[in-house]
Amino acid sequence: MSNCSNHNLCIDTALIEAQKICDQRNIRFTDLRRTILKIIWQSHKAIKAYDILDQISGMNFSAKPPTVYRALDFLLENGFIHKINSLNSYIGCPNPLQNEQCYFIICSSCDEIEECSDKNITNAIESVMNKNKFSHKNIAIEINGTCNNCLDNRK
């Protein structure tokens, strides 16, 4: 499902973009935050916090779970990553400055995740919330199914 043809470029672009945004916002993009973002971007599959902790424990970081979760919170708050609630995992955000509502299609077979956005879906959700006089804090839409690659491989 991923459109990435050069994954190293994908990772480098995400790190450069995050650094630029942090510089613009005058916030620190520490080595730990950078390393965690890089780990998340190493695959287009979601990764759990404890898997991140396992990976950085072999590096020169003395990170404990709260440290990793604080770094993840920073990355979430600044739009660099998304949390995939149904998997309790994290994935990189390819468009951290885009303010459009996004949703995720998740392949149950290969675990690939695609970030999508559609104004019609966003408008429909906003319409329902307005009709119900409901103010949302967060909208998380995750659609689980099977991607075309996995469907084709089953044939």
Strand partners, 104: 115, 142
What predicted TM-score, i.e. pTM, was given to this entire model?
0.86
Range(s) within the chain of domains with CATH label 1.10.10.10: 7-92
pLDDT in the model for residue 61: 77
Residue with tokens 């959700």: 125
Residue ranges of alpha helices (H) inside 93-147 are: 119-131
CA distance 101 to 82: 12
The pLDDT, as a whole number, for residue 10 is 86
DSSP string covering 84-146: EGGGTEEEE-S-TT--S--EEEEETTT-BEEEE--HHHHHHHHHHHHHTT---S---EEEEE-
Give me the architecture of the 7-92 domain, per CATH.
Answer: Orthogonal Bundle (1.10)
Predicted local distance difference test score (pLDDT) of residue 4: 60
Q: Helix axis angle, 49-57 relative to 65-77, nearest 10°?
A: 120
| Sole residue written with tokens 């906003």 | 126
Are the C-beta atoms of 110 and 101 separated by less than 8 Å?
no
pLDDT in tens, the chain (155 residues): 455 656 678 899 999 999 999 999 999 999 999 999 999 999 778 999 999 999 998 787 778 899 999 999 999 999 999 999 999 999 999 888 886 788 999 999 998 999 998 999 989 999 999 999 998 887 889 999 999 999 988 87
Q: Where in the chain is the domain with CATH 3.30.1490.190?
A: 103-154
CATH architecture of the domain formed by 103-154: 2-Layer Sandwich (3.30)
